Amino acid sequence: MGNSILRTEKLCKSFSNGGVQQHVIKNLDMEIREGDFTVIMGSSGSGKSTLLYALSGMDKPSMGKVIFDGTEIQDLSNDELAVFRRGNCGFVFQSIYLLENQTVLDNVLTGALIVQKNSPELVNKAKELLKKVGLNEEVWNKYPSQLSGGEAQRVGIVRAIINDPKILFADEPTGQLNSASSRDVLDIFTDIHKNGQSIVMVTHDLKTALRGTRVLYLRDGGVVGDYRMPNFCEDDIKERRNNLTSFLEDMGW
Amino acid sequence: MGKILRLSLFNLRKNKKEAAAIVFLTLVSTMMLGIFAINLSKVSNAFDESFAKSGSVDTFISFSENDYRDSYREILEEDYGFEDVRRGNMINGFSTGVLHDGEKIAYNLAFITESENQKIDDGNIIESMTEEQIEALDHWVILPSFFKYNLRYEIGDEFIPVVSGRQYPFTVAGFYNTGLSNESGMLFKIIISNEDYRLLTPVFQEYVFLAFNSDDDFNYRDYFTSCMDESGDSFEGYGFTKEEEKANETKFLNLFLYMSITLSLITFVASIFMVRNKIRSDIEDQMERIGVLEALGYKGKEISLSYVFEYVISSGIGGVIGGIIALAATPFMNNIISVMLGREVVSSAKVYMVLPVVIGVIGLILIFALTKAAMVKKFPPVVAFRRGIRTHNFKRNVLPLEKTGKNINRRLGFKDSIRNIRTGAGVGLCIFLAGTTLLFCMYTFVMFFNGSDGLVKLMGMEISDDVMTINEGVDPYALSEELQEMPEVRMTRVTDTSLSFRVDGQKEGTVFSYEEFTDMEYIVPMEGRYPEHDNEVMISLRRSRTYDLEVGDTIVIDNQGVKTSYIITGIVGAMSNNQMNLYMTLDGFQRANGSAVPNCVEIYLEDGVNREEFEDKLISIYGQSVDTAMSGDNADGTLEERIQAEASEKIAVLMSTYGVTSVDYAVRVGDQLITGNSRQFVMKELQSYHDLVKSQLDPISNITRLFTGAGAIAVGVIVAVILGIIASSNVKKRRKDLGIMKSLGYSSKDLMTQIAISIMPVTVVAVILASAASIIINKVFWFQIFGADIKTSIPVLILTDLALIAFTFVMTYIGAGKIRKISVNELMTE
Ligand SMILES: Nc1ncnc2c1ncn2[C@@H]1O[C@H](COP(=O)(O)OP(=O)(O)OP(=O)(O)O)[C@@H](O)[C@H]1O
Ligand SMILES: [Mg+2]
């Protein structure tokens, strides 16, 4: 087990909906460890996304602390948070969110250049990564609307990891993809995890969850289940599935 | 209909700020256009009404007493066929200093008695003391209305002409409405009592005037020529006509109104463009919502109508409020017109006058909204749903990030500016128009910053500190040298009274002549050189342009039938007189006018010399009036004073009766030697054009400064509002992209910088074009108005350009502040 790189203390997040306070996360204490592929599960509306965004400094908690690699990020201003996210956090979204008017390569570089100085090495790295996820040269100068969903999400992943973030966050990255594309994308996640990337991913989907090494189950604003698995491997997939399913069933999934 | 209206009201509520901006822009343009449209006609009417009320004849002509011949009047009655030509007398003091509130300002004054004034106008009193109060005064004046409305004199104020150091104190007893001579450039006709008239007659020169109603064709310059032909004498006469009076009084006011209208049109164009741009981007932006609405069963037409309503409602509110303000501004504008004309203005504004403007503004916006909103109809719901009409250029990727230099924000900003080239062009147009106006305002403001000094430089005549006109027979060169020796004097120059010469086939022009043109401070050729020989002439820029004359060409001067030709050596910008000035050497002047003898010395003082004190000194040495000395009122004083006065009286008689020019005397009384000479009679008049020019130009420069300053601020506000809208609608349109960028670690500041940078290329281009345009406009404008050549101040240009670019950057940056409100977690809730 790796070192703890992200920790929350009494994390609370509430929204006021039409004047009514809705407490989505309540006094949540948890910890993310380096090298883990952490999967966050829970029923719809249980606050998975909310938690993910609080963990990653995309949004501020209402109360409590988020300690990211020693930095308490809950007190940072919005602009400080933005600077903090650079290099520390990578994101992959369900809706992919590429910049529509930038080419594939420029989408990746837009993510990179705010963190690093431009250099031939950087551009090469971007190209290498694109190649690695199966996007060849002819795609690099296309615009997002000319890509398939799977291709687009692969660009999204490359954009998220180009800065070698401490943690790669993903919110249902395969939610909009068909099963073949999903599989490709998940393979990429598995692959980069094996290379040592820490990942925190929110998902509904059992197949996706199977890729993780740890599953946190969220209910009533707190973590109610914490389940560990060995690294993903196609060979013992059946057993892996059975174990996870029984964990989830215990959780009332 | 109801539901369309509900839809547009919903939109309006949602975009309160932008709706407010459109209300503001339409309000400002309607207001400005309205105000100036109403008042343009009013200026002319106000003058006509005031003139009619004064009961004035439309022309009077004046000759100095000695020049007048009765035959001149007959020419008017017989040759011209004018009826009821009334002859009268007045006294004129040109460039006479007047003390008021401790300040001395020079005016051209005419004094006239009440009964003589009746020959010119009714002398209608606007405001005055009671009969008893007036009777209690030693010396009273009734001033023309200009003093009340423009110069802010009040009843009971002192009015003290100062002639040759002597003060003639009067009390202001009232103001009257004069038709002619109510303008500082011409003459102020002042009513005084019969006793005071007699007292002032020896002080000034008496003139004969002829007052009558002329016709449109009448030209008093031609008339003077006929008079001179008739009698064979040459003289300088003055003419005052209603047309000239009106042109002089309204010239600047009209100028400002036209400038204001231009400024309002620019605002208007910019506003219209803004609205157009906003409608388009709104529709593009809301394609998905449009899709939903269409899916809900709204027809494309209904949706587009809802947009049209939205803009017509906001521009309608702006237009109507603007119109109301324009009407409400009537008293204020009346006041300005009243001050500028120096006349009472009482006309009220009627609603029908602003109505066309209000309707025009709203109508134009309606048309744009209709054409733009028609776009909606082109998209079936599916297109609207799916990515809307996001314009993708699948063309070449301009400025790929691969080649990014040091600064990613700059790169992304530039990329953005190329992508939004259409909006950019519009912004560019706005900035171009605003920039041109701003630059012009700044040049003018700076030029007038130190009061009228800027204008004085354009006069095309030497404005020395003092001009001494000498009595006949005095040697001007000897006097010039004598004056030059005084410690206060920096420079002296001999010249002649500036006469007007007729030029063959051209307008006549005032001649400025000097022995040689060296060390000139105000007359500086913009082309060619000064005249050196007696067959050379330098002409004004206006003359050169009007008659297409260049250096090397020839003009022919016609002095009472004697024709003399001159070669043009140079061209000078000149706004003085009729902008048709001529410049020649004294020899050259004498070639055309054999009888001319130089009779003026221009005196330039050293820095720091008190002019008033110096003038007193000159008067005490040179300034005794022959007329006063001859009348010999020397009963008191010491023996010496009495002897000197007696001697002066004798000398004065010698000079005026026998043409003696120089006398020295010595009288021994006991062992006292009393000496004297005729020097004390050297000076005929001492004038300071400096003061006169200032009194004429100061009001103009003040209002110009005020106006251009206000104009620059107005342009700034409008630019700020427009940029604010552009930036904020840009943010709205790119909300999602900006959210994504934030998730990648771009801070709000980064993104605001990008948006500000994205309009920089177009701003810089627009500012460069505006600079070029402003230089041309500055040149053309000042030539048209003053016949002068203005060199645009390059430092002002550069500073203004830089300021405008910085301002644009900052305003866009601030306008993009909405970015701060975009939170990344909006992305997850989609
Ligand atoms: N910005 C917001 N404003 C108000 N309420 C919000 C906001 N974001 C989330 N919520 C509420 O918080 C609760 C949790 O939302 P969240 O998106 O975290 O759920 P989730 O677990 O990700 O659900 P899903 O599996 O459907 O994505 C929901 O009830 C949602 O309505
Ligand atoms: Mg979610």
> Other C-beta atoms within 10 Å of B452: how many?
20
Mean pLDDT for A178-198 is 93
Q: Whose CA is nearest to atom 24 of ligand 1?
A: A44
Report which DSSP code applies to B572: E
Please check whether residue A115 touches B, CB under 8 A.
yes
**Average pLDDT in the A106-135 region?**
93
B43's tokens: 């200026």
φ, ψ of residue A215 in degrees (nearest 5): -120, 125
Q: How confident is the model at residue B628 (pLDDT cuts 50, 70, 90)?
A: low
**In the structure encoding, which two tokens stand for residue B655, read together?**
């000079």
Q: Show Cβ contacts of residue A196 under 8 Å, excluding neighbours closer than 6 positions.
A: A35
Q: Residues with Cβ within 5 Å of ion ligand 2?
A: A 49
pLDDT in tens, A18-45: 888 999 999 999 999 999 999 999 999 9
- Region B114-133: mean pLDDT is 90
Mean per-residue pLDDT of chain A: 92
B71, pLDDT greater than 90: no
Per-residue pLDDT band for B388 (boundaries 50, 70, 90) equals very low
pLDDT in tens, B718-750: 888 888 888 888 888 788 889 999 999 999 999
| Distance in angstroms (rounded) separating the CA atoms of residues B537 and B527 | 13
In this structure, which residue's CA is closest to atom 4 in ligand 1? A15
- Rounded distance from Cα A58 to ligand 2 centre (Å): 14
Q: How crowded is residue B513: how many other Cβ atoms within 10 Å of its Cβ?
A: 27
Give pairs for B693-698: CB < 8 Å, separation 24+: B693/B452, B693/B456, B693/B459, B693/B463, B694/B105, B694/B106, B694/B451, B694/B452, B694/B456, B695/B105, B695/B106, B695/B107, B695/B184, B696/B184, B696/B185, B697/B452, B697/B455, B697/B456, B698/B451, B698/B452
- Model confidence pLDDT, tens digit, residues B571-586: 998 887 778 899 999 9
Question: Which residues have any ligand 1 atom within 6 Å of their CB?
Answer: A 15, 17, 24, 42, 44-50, 204; B 825, 829
User: When comparing pLDDT for B772 and B269, which is higher?
Assistant: B772
Calculate how close chain B gets to A236, using CA atoms only, in Å. Answer: 34
ipTM of this predicted structure: 0.91
Give me the amino acid identity at A134: G
Compute the nearest-CA separation of A77 from chain B (Å). Answer: 10
Query: In which residue are the tokens 């108005």 written?
Result: B785
3-class state of residue B822 by DSSP: coil
Average pLDDT over residues B308-333: 88
pLDDT surpassing 70 at residue A214: yes
Report the pLDDT value the prediction gives residue B470, as an integer from 0 to 100: 85
Whole-Å CA distances, B5 to B10, B291, B303: 8, 19, 10
Whether residue A17 has pLDDT greater than 90:
no
DSSP codes joined into one string, B371-393: HHHGGGGG--HHHHHTTTT----
Q: Which of B54-68, B338-352, B798-812 has the lowest mean pLDDT?
A: B338-352
3-state secondary structure chain A: CCCEEEEEEEEEEEEEECCEEEEEEEEEEEEEECCCEEEEEECCCCCHHHHHHHHCCCCCCCEEEEEECCEEHHHCCHHHHHHHHHHHEEEECCCCCCCCCCCHHHHHHHHHHCCCCCCHHHHHHHHHHHHHCCCCHHHHCCCHHHCCHHHHHHHHHHHHHCCCCCEEEEECCCCCCCHHHHHHHHHHHHHHHHCCCEEEEECCCHHHHCCCCEEEEEECCEEEEEEECCCCCHHHHHHHHHHHHHHHHHHCC
Element (H, E) at B405: none
Residue from B189, B239, B178, B251 nearest B214 by CA:
B239
A71-101 residue pLDDT tens: 999 999 988 999 999 889 999 998 889 998 8
- Whether residues B825 and A59 touch (CB distance < 8 A) is answered with yes
What's the mean pLDDT in B358-380?
A: 78
Q: Is residue B633 over pLDDT 70?
A: no
Residues 6 or more apart in contact with residue B29 via CB below 8 angstroms: B264, B267, B268, B271, B322, B361
Name the class of domain A4-250: alpha beta
Summarize the confidence of residues B620-632 as an average pLDDT. Answer: 66
Query: Whole-angstrom Cα distance, residue B357 to residue B57?
Result: 38
Looking at residue B395, what is its pLDDT? 61
Residue B239, phi then psi, degrees to nearest 5: -125, 145
pLDDT given for residue B649 in this prediction: 74
Report the pLDDT value the prediction gives residue B394, as an integer from 0 to 100: 53
Q: Does B545 score more than 50 pLDDT? A: yes
What's the rounded Cα separation, in Å, for the pair B302 and B138? 82
Look at the block and give the residue holding tokens 């002032």.
B200
Residue range B184-197, pLDDT digits in tens: 667 899 999 999 99
Contact B747 A106 (CB under 8 A): no
Provide the pLDDT for residue B655.
66
Phi, psi torsion values for B745, nearest 5 degrees: 105, 10
pLDDT tier at B389, thresholds 50, 70, 90:
very low
From chain B, the residues in CB contact with A106 under 8 A are: 397, 400-402
Cα atoms in the 13 Å half-sphere on the side-chain side of B731: 27
In whole angstroms, what separates CA B310 from the centre of its chain?
42
pLDDT band at A249 (very low <50, low <70, confident <90, very high): very high
Let me know: does B80 contact B218? Beta carbons within 8 Å: yes
Q: Is A83 on the interface with B (CB under 8 A)?
A: yes
For the stretch B332-355, pLDDT in tens is 888 888 888 888 887 777 778 788
Q: Which of the four pLDDT bands, split at 50, 70 and 90, describes residue A219?
A: very high
B828 in contact with A, Cβ within 8 Å: yes
CA distance B86 to B270: 57
Give the predicted TM-score (pTM) of the model: 0.78
> Taking a C-beta distance cutoff of 8 angstroms, is the pair B433, B573 a contact?
no
| A174 in Cβ contact with A11 (< 8 Å) | no
> What's the DSSP call for residue B606?
P
- CB-CB contact of A98 with A155 (8 Å): yes
Query: Average pLDDT, stretch B515-528?
Result: 89
Domain residues of chain A, as ranges?
Answer: 4-250
Query: Checking DSSP bridges between strand A222-228 and strand A63-68, what pairing results, if any?
Result: unpaired
Residue B618, SS3? helix
Closest ligand 1 atom to Cα of A52: 18
Q: Which two tokens stand for residue B121?
A: 């106008």
pLDDT in tens, B811-828: 999 999 989 988 776 765
Of the residues B734, B743, B751, the best mutation for testing chain A's interface (the one with the most A CB atoms within 10 Å of its CB) is B743
The percentage of residues in chain B with a pLDDT greater than 90, rounded to a whole number, is: 24
Q: Which residue in B19, B68, B95 sits closest to B497, CA to CA?
A: B95
φ, ψ of residue A115 to 5 degrees: the values are -100, -45
3-state secondary structure (DSSP) of residue B820: helix
| Closest protein CA for atom 14 of ligand 1 | A47
B3 touches chain A (CB under 8 A): no
Encode pLDDT of B412-465 as tens digits.
888 888 888 877 888 888 899 889 989 998 998 888 887 777 777 788 888 888
Contact B153, B167 (CB under 8 A): no
Q: Would you state the pLDDT for residue B806? A: 96
Name, in order, each residue with C-beta under 8 angstroms of B601's C-beta and a sequence gap of 6 or more. Answer: B467, B468, B470, B476, B479, B480, B483, B492, B493, B494, B495
Q: Which of B411, B740, B829 sits opposite A97 (nearest CB)?
A: B740
- Across the range B523-535, mean pLDDT stands at 92
Does the beta carbon of B503 lie under 8 angstroms from any beta carbon of chain A?
A: no
